[in-house]
Chain A
Amino acid sequence: MALSSRGGRSRFTLVLLILTSITVLTLDFRGSSAIQSVRNTASSVFSPVRDAASSAFSPATNAWDGLFHYGDLEKENQRLRAEIEQLQGQAAQNDEAKRALDELTKAVGITQWTTLPAVTAQVISGPLTNFEHTIEIDKGSNAGIKVDMPVVTGAGLAGRIVEVQSGRSVIKLLTDPDIVVGVRLKTTGDTALLHGQGDGQPLVIDAGIDPKVTVPPEELVTTSGEDRATFPGGVPIGNVSKTELAAGQLTQVLTVTPLTNFERLTFLQVLLWEPPQ
């Protein structure tokens, strides 16, 4: 009898906690300002503690990185040296091409993403859990950053601002399956939709490319920048590494290797550009 009543109370507690969780989840999904405000306050209060603890633990995390990523760093160093040599050769050609492009875009009145004002920020925190694809940077609304602004690295698109406080912002990375980007293939000019597939996974275009289109190997994919696009046009994203026909063969599925290395983000640029409403 006692056991049965204890079991009943346990189940009651469990149901109560589950219902409370679901209520909170529902409020958050509905964009409740109270929930957002509580979360922002908690985050602001906890941030100084995290900053202090991060500084204190940095020798340990650096040692861990040295131990477990030494081989990766060595390989990356060799690859970067080879790339620098290659890029030095291309630089001269690019200068000439850039001059011609500047003249043309000026004449037509197109805004290039490289000419947009930008804020450089440092990554202060990576994903805190295994279930999120966000990072934090050390610049916020004080630097003119607003929600939905695009974030780039020297290589290409990295993500989008999803949360802004006075001195820090949260970026949702391009690897998050929730971010969908309108893209254009460089040589064929076809437009399509690209999205992420999670950490360490390539990006994918699975809508918008006709099966008859021949996609060249290593085709460059950039943002399309079409009317009402959420990103400015022409920002490089990655190269097509694999093409296959989707089930039903109504479209091609393109696997895109991102140009940005999402595992080693240190400095980023937030483009002070807001998508049209």
Chain B
Amino acid sequence: MKYARPAFVIFVLLTLQTTLIADLQAFGATGDIMMLLPIAAGISGGRDRGAVVGFVTGLAFDLVVHGTPLGFFALGYTLVGYIVGAMQAGVLRAAWWIPVVTAFGGSVLGIVTLAVVGEFLGFEHLFDRHLLTICAVVAVVNAALVLPMLRVVRWSMPLVTRSGRLVPT
């Protein structure tokens, strides 16, 4: 039961990403709302949660895409979730715009991370001018959606203390 809500959220995001988001192209690039989940999890729950959610989300995405090897997104999103979570730990006071800026920066970092992973795996021509367009589109979409996504993350993966109490967010 503990995992039902996160599984449902991943399923809905996967459906949205592979249908609506994939079709709504801007300047030859598409948004990446799958990446937004580990970013939001990293912001709300720290690096551990960011990494684990990134791994599971990436693996689910890997299973339904065809052009990249299995594990590509799992590895990329794990790193993104962890880094965003680690960055967020250094922020002392939360203002509403901090998650927006973090999502923007985390998305750029995520795309560059995926491109670096791709280069290691032998993909060619990833670091070209089009990568800037991809970074911009993904970052803008994720920055726009991060606040509702944070609510979704808090609903689906509430933080609890060792005594089982909910951590106020």
Interface: B145 (CB within 8 A)? no
Asked if B63 and A10 sit within 8 Å, CB to CB, the answer is: no
Counting residue pairs across A and B whose Cβ atoms lie within 8 Å, the total is 160
Count how many chain B residues have C-beta atoms less than 8 Å from C-beta atoms of the other chain: 56
How many whole Å from B143's CB to the nearest CB in chain A?
17
Known: A125-B22, A177-B125. A9 touches B67 (CB 8 A): no
Interface of B is mostly: helix
Contacts known (A39-B70, A128-B18); A10 close to B48, Cβ less than 8 A = yes
Nearest CB in chain B: distance from A253 CB, A: 14
B23–A57 touching, CB < 8 Å? yes
A25 contact from B18, B65, B121, Cβ within 8 A: B121
Contacts of A17 in B (CB 8 A): 51-52, 54-55, 74, 78
Q: Which residues of B contact A (CB under 8 A)?
A: 14-20, 22-26, 28-30, 32, 46-48, 51-52, 54-55, 58-59, 61-75, 78-79, 82, 111, 114-115, 118, 121, 123-126, 128, 130, 134, 138
What residues of chain A lie closer than 8 Å to B134, measured between beta carbons? 130
Q: Which residue in chain B gives the minimum CB-CB distance to A69?
A: B25
B64 in complex: contacting residue of A10, A42, A54, A201, CB < 8 Å = A42
- Note all chain B residues with C-beta closer than 8 A to A46: 14, 18, 63-64
Interface pair A130/B74, CB less than 8 Å apart: no
**Chain A residues in the interface with B (C-beta under 8 A):** 9-10, 13-14, 17-18, 20-25, 27-29, 35, 38-39, 42-43, 46, 49-50, 53-54, 57, 60-61, 64, 68, 125-134, 136, 162-163, 170, 172, 176-178, 197-201, 263
A contacts with B: majority SS: helix
Across the interface, name the chain B residue whose C-beta is closest to A57: B20
Q: Which chain A residue lies CB-closest to B11?
A: A49
